[in-house]
């Protein structure tokens, strides 16, 4: 559990412009500070009126609300769930305002080398990845309308098996060198930049695995409070 906590950003006080705030948090007692969005003044001091990131521009202090939706960036490791299958592509929910797609050409076929996808592969799409499946991928393209395309051409990407999908705000996720975490010998987690977290349990989850997953749920609930 401790190794997973490092991937999350907690609310903590520090210097203005470098931290997050909760409603009622003290921000500044400098008389020259100008109230911005998400703040209020009381007894000469400025406080946060909502939860978010604290930003200071010159003497203007503001709190920007956390985004509950993911904004795709090329190279992001993401966790998503398939919600529709179309011609030569899967539509993926990435916790974004706009849909993502996984094209058949961006998938490594099981036990095969890189090759051109055939009509037979298109027919077998539902066998490869079905609606409701969880996939791990990487953002490959970002479009002007907010949609994006991901690929799974990596040994650690692709469809996942048995486990639990958890969700938090993307603002709580830190970008790390790897987003694959071995919590314990039989329990791996994948922390997506998009705020979805996949905890792989295997086909026969143990009582200890359920206990750890419950801990993770409680921690995320505290973050989102």
Residue 184 resides in a domain: yes
CA distance 188 to 72: 24
pLDDT for 89:
95
pLDDT for 15:
38
pLDDT for 131:
94
pLDDT for 78:
97
CA 109 to chain centre: 26
Task: With H, G, I as helix, E, B as strand and everything else as coil, classify residue 152.
Answer: coil
Provide the number of structural domains found in the chain. 2
> Is the same domain home to 102 and 212?
yes
Task: With H, G, I as helix, E, B as strand and everything else as coil, classify residue 141.
Answer: strand
pLDDT higher at 164 or 110: 164
pLDDT for 2:
66
- Indicate the pLDDT class of residue 58, thresholds 50, 70 and 90: confident
> Is the same domain home to 117 and 40?
no
CATH number at residue 20: 2.40.50.100
pLDDT for 225:
64
CA distance 54 to 15: 9
DSSP 33-46: PEE-TTEEEETTEE
Q: Residue 26 is part of which domain span?
A: 11-65
Q: What is the mean pLDDT of the chain?
A: 85
CATH number at residue 168: 2.40.50.140
Residue 146 resides in a domain: yes
> Is the same domain home to 55 and 136?
no
pLDDT higher at 202 or 214: 214
Neighbouring residues of 124: CB distance < 8 A, sequence distance ≥ 6: none
Sign of CA dihedral 218, 220, 222, 225: negative
Residue 166 resides in a domain: yes
pLDDT for 17:
42
Q: Which of 72, 75, 80, 73 is nearest to 159 (CA)?
A: 80
> Is the same domain home to 87 and 54?
no
- Residue 109 sits at the vertex; the CA angle it makes with 105 and 112, to the nearest 5 degrees, is 120
pLDDT for 52:
80
Task: With H, G, I as helix, E, B as strand and everything else as coil, classify residue 7.
Answer: coil
pLDDT for 95:
95
Residue 5 resides in a domain: no
Phi, psi of 155 (to 5 degrees): -60, -25
pLDDT for 123:
78
> Is the same domain home to 61 and 81?
no
pLDDT in tens, 137-188: 999 999 999 899 999 999 999 999 899 999 998 878 877 888 999 988 878 9
> Is the same domain home to 107 and 38?
no
Residue 109 resides in a domain: yes
- Indicate the pLDDT class of residue 3, thresholds 50, 70 and 90: low
> Is the same domain home to 172 and 106?
yes
pLDDT in tens, 27-43: 999 999 999 989 999 99
- Indicate the pLDDT class of residue 1, thresholds 50, 70 and 90: low
Taking residues 47-51, what's their average pLDDT? 89
Residue 6 resides in a domain: no
């Amino acid at each position: 559990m401790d190794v997973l906590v490092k991937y999350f950003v907690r609310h903590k006080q520090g210097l203005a412009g470098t931290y997050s705030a909760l409603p009622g948090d003290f921000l500044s007692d400098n008389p020259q500070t100008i109230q911005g969005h998400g703040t209020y003044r009381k007894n000469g001091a400025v406080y946060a009126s909502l939860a978010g990131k604290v930003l200071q521009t010159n003497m203007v202090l503001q709190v920007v609300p956390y985004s509950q939706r993911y904004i795709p960036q090329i190279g992001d490791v993401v966790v998503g769930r398939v919600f529709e299958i179309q011609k030569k592509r899967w539509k993926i929910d990435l916790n974004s305002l706009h849909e993502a797609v996984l094209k058949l050409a961006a998938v490594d076929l099981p036990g095969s080398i890189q090759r051109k996808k055939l009509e037979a592969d298109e027919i077998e799409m539902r066998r490869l990845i079905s609606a409701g499946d969880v996939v791990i991928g990487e953002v490959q393209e970002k479009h002007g309308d907010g949609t994006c395309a991901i690929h799974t051409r990596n040994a650690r990407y692709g469809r996942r098996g048995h486990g639990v999908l958890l969700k938090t705000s993307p603002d709580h996720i830190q970008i790390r060198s790897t987003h694959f975490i071995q919590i314990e010998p039989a329990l791996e987690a994948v922390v997506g930049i998009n705020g979805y977290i996949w905890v792989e349990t295997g086909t026969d989850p143990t009582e200890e695995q359920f206990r750890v997953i419950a801990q993770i749920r409680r921690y995320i609930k505290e973050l989102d409070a």
